[in-house]
Structure 1
Amino acid sequence: MNVPCQYGETTCTRFQLYQTQISYYFPNQCRKQSKNMGAHPIPQLTVVTLMFLPTIIQSHPSTYSTISVTDFGATGDGKHYDTSAIQSAIDTCHNSTTKPCYVTFPPGTYLTATVFLKSNVVLNIPKGSAILGGTKLEDYPKAWDRWYVILAENASDVGITGGGVVDGQGSEFVVKFDKRKNVMVSWNQTGACWGDECRPRLVGFLDSTNVRVWNVTLTQPAYWCLHIVRCENTSIHDVSIYGDFYTPNNDGIDIEDSNNTLITRCHIDTGDDALCPKTYTSPLHNLTATNCWIRTKSSAIKLGSASWFEFKNLVFDNITIVDSHRGLGFQIRDGGNVSDITVSNINISTRYYDPSWWGRAEPIYVTTCPRDSNSAEGSISNVNFINITANSENGIFLSGSKGGLLRNLRFINMNLTYKRWTNYVGGLVDYRPGCQGLVNHSAAGIIMEHIDGLDVENVNMRWFDGRTVQWDNPLDFTPSTVNNISLLNFHSGFYSQ
């Protein structure tokens, strides 16, 4: 259905996610002048139209073929490797004349080394069935960047579904269980890779198109869980992700250098970052995430920190963030620019965890400091935070850099409640990775540096009249680095329970 131009759109087919109060601010025009920022226009809200959705989001097609892994000798006993049988079923399915072709897994547990998913093939893992990833180095390809339990490369019209489980056996990679942070196996001693994050990921789609992952549980990854790399037209919906809450680097969904991505109705409960767009080799455009529930010891939503190229046209809507170390994070460290981002209808609860995890309980964290002296400075502009409710142990941190200013940020309709309830020490700001690291700084409702253009409208900041009494500064900034701030209906005050 074609609709009139609205909040940044031209005539288009709108995906029905944005019937929110965004339209209140942009009712009849695409762009208008801000009343509160002088010559600075309100940033244009570019809504991702996602016209590719009819292609990739659909029920079972009217005609498709089905092949069972047990027809190729899979035992499903969880003890003997079924890799060869699963791969044979995939290869046969790929060569089927009827497309798409579904590879099915009768009830059982199927232990496997890496299996390679191919075009026009969907893995159908029903309830009562599980794919179990191997835990030995020889279970994975020689190249470390192909270490996945399930891997699709250069594939099209490919996916995973069924209601069952893909299990990475992450606990088998723990060297020492620690309530602060687990110590993990690293296969770097073999020379296969370097660093302390040398473990297999769970599911990866690389250089693929029309990817769909839906109605499946991904659990216990040893490293990143679901990895989307240089893909076009990806749909991830009704997916549950469970990672060990004490394990580092077990990210929920990492979207890397990919365009036209939809994530909706997902439940993510993990130790490290939950939704994490990154840019290593090319820009990332048109990502929408909506109707999700998240808990993490790191950032619930994090752009970066890998950020060599542009992020543009991202929408995060109707997301609940629970007991996380950081809510909405922009961690731009490598010179890439971020623009045209809408964050709306978000309910956030953030708290302190051990400082070995990045984050200081910030509900919103927007930073551009360069990773090191050799890194370029990226900028962040035209970002809109609308209808945000936060209950947090710390305030908002907005920190640009001299060559990477934060420009044209907007806070509209926000309720911020600050209260301490854990016993972790406060009084630090977190610039990690790189930059200045952890720095002593008294807490505040909003800390600002290196900003040009901030609109604050209908924002209510409440301070619990108790342990927060020693950090009751609503706004903390140095005027020489912060310009063009507008406050309209901004309130700050104590409250008592």
Structure 2
Amino acid sequence: MEEIGLIEINILDNHDFDDISINATEAIQSAIDKCNGADGGIVTVPGEGVYIIDGIELKSNVTLNVESGATLRGSGNEERYIRRPGPFELIRNNTPISGLIFANGANNIAVTGDGTIDGNFEKFIFPDQGSEQHLKFYKYPRPMMFYFENCRDVKISNLHIINSPFWTIHLVGCFKTEIDSIFINNEMRMPNTDGIDIDRGRETHIHDCTIVTGDDGICPKCTEETAKYGDCNNIKVERCNIKTRSSAIKFGSSSFGNFEDCYFTDLKIEDTNRGIAFQIRDPGSVRNITFENITIKNKTYTKDWWGSGEPIYITLVQRDEKTDMKNQVIDNISFLNINCESDNGIFIYSSVEGAVRDIYLRDVNLKLNKPFKTATEFDLRPNYGSGVVTSSHIGLNTETTANLVLTNVQIEDSENEIISY
């Protein structure tokens, strides 16, 4: 991100927000527009205080700086958020989407500071759900906390981002994005609250972040409706902690493009339904992905959440009866120095012969919480046909893999039986 500093605007300079019920959208947006018109600047939201906002559009060469003690809280009035026409995810889903903090075609933008952005998710769910483990909501999709499309040189840094009603940060066709030192803390019972979705992004660097959420933690995607932005490649993720009821790292399930050249290292994954997952369901391929120095502790939740407690899950199957996967592959995937404790084993599966190939596991240790002989089901959702693959054992299920290379791999079950490869 280039240095920005031509003008600086504190939103309290010309506004009084002593009453926290006052909506601050106009003050913040006018400051952003002024900075953009002056070829760049910083808009500061000072602490201490809660500022109610509708949709805010970030524009080129502007930093929105939320200071420590300040909270931007979504009003919950989606009609006043920034809306983008549909379709969403699949071309047949002609559904508009919206964002609380929105940018489209902007360059050199940032949202920074030690303050908080609150998505106010309770405005989007049915009331009085008590101890329900998978909260019921009014509609799909719901507003995203951040929606940035076709942006270049993006930075999101240091913020606390909480209570998202839907995907927290959605990057669509963005180039050169850095996300660092943020803390995402969502209600873990809330579906669809992905932490960071990298949708056909290029050169994305995520580091030193903590993500606690209900759905996938970090999720590279290639949605069907964003095809004009090409593939998803050159992602680097390091020094992050992830806790979720779904997958900590997941490629897919929207996989209408290719994923290439990604590197994940020094991650701590805990209490997740799945650790590292490839959920390839559409005509796209995955190549050259490395995971290194990662600890994984799985915990199974209710069947409302996809997954069966797998620390490593690699699957390529068709989404529906019309999906043609015959030319797609998952190729050259490396797992190096991975330590796992899990309710289920490593699962690698394809419905296309030879499509999953050149999988390397080196210095991988797995401690199972059940005996090897435990019968199990591996969850294939979403998919065409049966939603599960059954097995008479847990541990290592890799029958459909071409060229699986195991080096110093050890699996121990709950009865202290050890299998080494």
Q: Would you say same fold, with TM above 0.5?
A: yes
Instruction: Answer yes or no: is the 8 Å Cα contact 1:391–1:416 preserved in 2.
Output: yes
Match of 2:109 among 158, 172, 177: 158
Name the aligned partner's letter for residue 380 of structure 2.
Y
Name the aligned partner's letter for residue 282 of structure 2.
D
Name the aligned partner's letter for residue 147 of structure 1.
S
Instruction: Answer yes or no: is the 8 Å Cα contact 2:155–2:179 preserved in 1.
Output: yes
Cα deviation per residue 1:409-454 (whole Å; 9 max; x = unaligned)?
A: 0000011100149xxx972110011232134433321111322111
SS of residue in 2 equivalent to 1:151: strand
TM-score scaled by length of structure 1 = 0.77
Match of 1:185 among 138, 146, 170: 138
- Cα distance in 2, alignment partners of residues 314 and 198 from structure 1: 28
Match of 1:432 among 360, 381, 384: 381
Match of 1:312 among 234, 249, 260: 260
Whether 1:90 and 2:20 are equivalent positions in the alignment is: no
| Residue matched to 2:222 | 279
Deviation at 1:401, TM superposition (A): 2.1
- Cα distance in 2, alignment partners of residues 170 and 214 from structure 1: 22
Cα deviation per residue 1:33-80 (whole Å; 9 max; x = unaligned)?
A: xxxxxxxxxxxxxxxxxxxxxxx3x8xx48542111223436264312
| Residue matched to 1:68 | 10
- Cα distance in 2, alignment partners of residues 198 and 75 from structure 1: 32
Change beyond 3 A, Cα 1:110–1:413 = same
RMSD over aligned CA atoms reads 2.0
- Cα distance in 2, alignment partners of residues 136 and 313 from structure 1: 40
Change beyond 3 A, Cα 1:203–1:359 = same
- Cα distance in 1, alignment partners of residues 278 and 182 from structure 2: 24
| Residue matched to 2:61 | 120
Cα deviation per residue 1:135-158 (whole Å; 9 max; x = unaligned)?
A: 123222454644111001100000
| Residue matched to 1:288 | 236
Where does the alignment leave 5 or more consecutive residues of structure 2 unmatched? 86-94
Deviation at 1:174, TM superposition (A): 1.8
Name the aligned partner's letter for residue 137 of structure 2.
M
SS of residue in 2 equivalent to 1:315: strand
- Cα distance in 1, alignment partners of residues 176 and 279 from structure 2: 25
Name the aligned partner's letter for residue 187 of structure 2.
D
Within-5 A mapping of 1:330-349? 330-349=278-297
TM-score scaled by length of structure 2 = 0.90
Deviation at 1:244, TM superposition (A): 0.4
Change beyond 3 A, Cα 1:283–1:76 = farther
Aligned length: 398
Percent identical among aligned pairs is 34
Name the aligned partner's letter for residue 165 of structure 1.
T
| Residue matched to 1:43 | none
Name the aligned partner's letter for residue 117 of structure 1.
L
| Residue matched to 1:132 | 73
Deviates more, 1:426-435 or 1:339-348: 426-435
Instruction: Answer yes or no: is the 8 Å Cα contact 2:238–2:265 preserved in 1.
Output: yes
- Cα distance in 1, alignment partners of residues 55 and 186 from structure 2: 20
Where does the alignment leave 5 or more consecutive residues of structure 1 unmatched? 1-55, 187-196, 475-489, 492-497
Cα deviation per residue 1:307-333 (whole Å; 9 max; x = unaligned)?
A: 011100010101000111000000000
Change beyond 3 A, Cα 1:394–1:453 = same
Whether 1:405 and 2:355 are equivalent positions in the alignment is: yes
Instruction: Answer yes or no: is the 8 Å Cα contact 1:369–1:404 preserved in 2.
Output: no
Deviation at 1:245, TM superposition (A): 0.7
